[in-house]
Amino acid sequence: MKRSLILTLVLGLGLSAIFAMPEFKQAECALDTEIPDLISGGRTAKYPASDKELAILAKDTEFSKAKCLIPRKEEMSYITMESPMDLIDLSIVLSGYDLANSIHRPERCMPAQGHKIISSQADHLELDNGESIPLTRLVSKLTVATGSPEDQQHITYDSLTYYFFVGNREITNSHTERTLIDIKDRVLHGKAQRWAYVSASMQFLDQPDPPFGAPPTLEKADKKIRELLKELAERNIDWDDVKA
């Protein structure tokens, strides 16, 4: 309790100092936010940010979102040469100039989207270029409403989410660490970083042998998301500048 109060005080003082300072130079994010058309052996279908996202976040916040359709090759029919598709929801939100009204950790907004977070843990992702990315891994229950308002039903899905933040020179899986880095850069260097919040989510079926075409097991969903994020990080991050 005491530690959290001290941290809150430090953040509050840092933010107060920021708003009293002159304009900052803006440091661009090291991540290219353009989602590739082809990734992880599948295609992407891009879609816009929701009206709620546009209303809540600062006007200069930028969004890149896509449904990634990944063929499940292990279940391909040798007769039709077709296979079920796994769907990974990939989202990149690029912060603007306003630190107080920019990106935030997903644990803050996921409950409003119908998620009940079951577990949260720190993880990391090893890349082929020798770099490593810190990640946060969330398992949740997602409840969505279906049908008309007069005959509404609720369906609950198991959901897996990974996320991390990319700044001008740093990568972190902690919103608190990201905020502290931002405060330090603004106070000591007069620099406002643009941060990208990267998240990937996928439904899974909590049973050992899901039926054909159903969402995969947690283990398989975990592998598919990590493969997608690995390829995105290797292709879209400028590793000459970043210090993970």
Q: What is the pLDDT of residue 105?
A: 77
Q: For residue 180, is it within any domain?
A: yes
| 8 Cα distance to chain centroid | 24
- CA distances in angstroms from 22 to 81, 100, 230, listed in the order given: 61, 16, 39
| Cβ(76)–Cβ(82) below 8 Å | yes
Structural domain containing residue 108: 24-236
- Count of CB atoms situated within 10 Å of the CB of 218: 16
Taking only the tens of pLDDT, the chain with its 244 residues reads 555 555 555 455 555 544 445 567 888 999 999 999 999 999 999 999 988 888 888 888 999 999 999 998 777 767 776 788 899 999 999 998 776 677 877 888 788 788 899 999 999 999 999 999 999 999 999 887 776 777 777 788 899 999 999 999 999 999 889 989 988 888 888 888 899 999 999 999 887 777 777 888 999 999 999 999 999 999 999 999 887 5
The pLDDT assigned to 18 comes to 46
Whether 188 is covered by a domain: the verdict is yes
Query: 195 lies in a domain?
Result: yes
pLDDT at 221: 95
Q: How far apart are CA 224 and CA 243, in angstroms?
A: 26
Within-domain flag for 16: no
In sequence order, what DSSP letters do the residues of 174-205 get, joined into one string?
Answer: -HHHHHHHHHHHHHHH-EEE--EEEEEEEEE-
- The CA-based angle 105-238-45, given to 5 degrees, is 60
> Using CA atoms, how far apart are residues 91 and 114, in angstroms rounded to an integer?
17
For residue 3, being part of any structural domain is answered with: no
**129 contact partners, CB below 8 Å, separation of at least 6:** 234, 239
Residue 173 has what pLDDT?
Answer: 96
Its pTM stands at: 0.85
Has residue 244 been placed in a domain?
Answer: no
Q: Residue 226: CB partners within 8 Å, gap ≥ 6?
A: 125, 162
* Two structure tokens written together for 138: 């969330």
Asked if residue 221 is part of any domain, the answer here is yes
147 backbone φψ class: left, alpha, beta (φ>0; ψ -120 to 50): left
User: Would residue 14 count as lying in a domain?
Assistant: no
Domain tally for the chain? 1
> Closest Cα to residue 231, out of 196, 195, 197, 200?
200
Tokens encoding 24: 């900052």
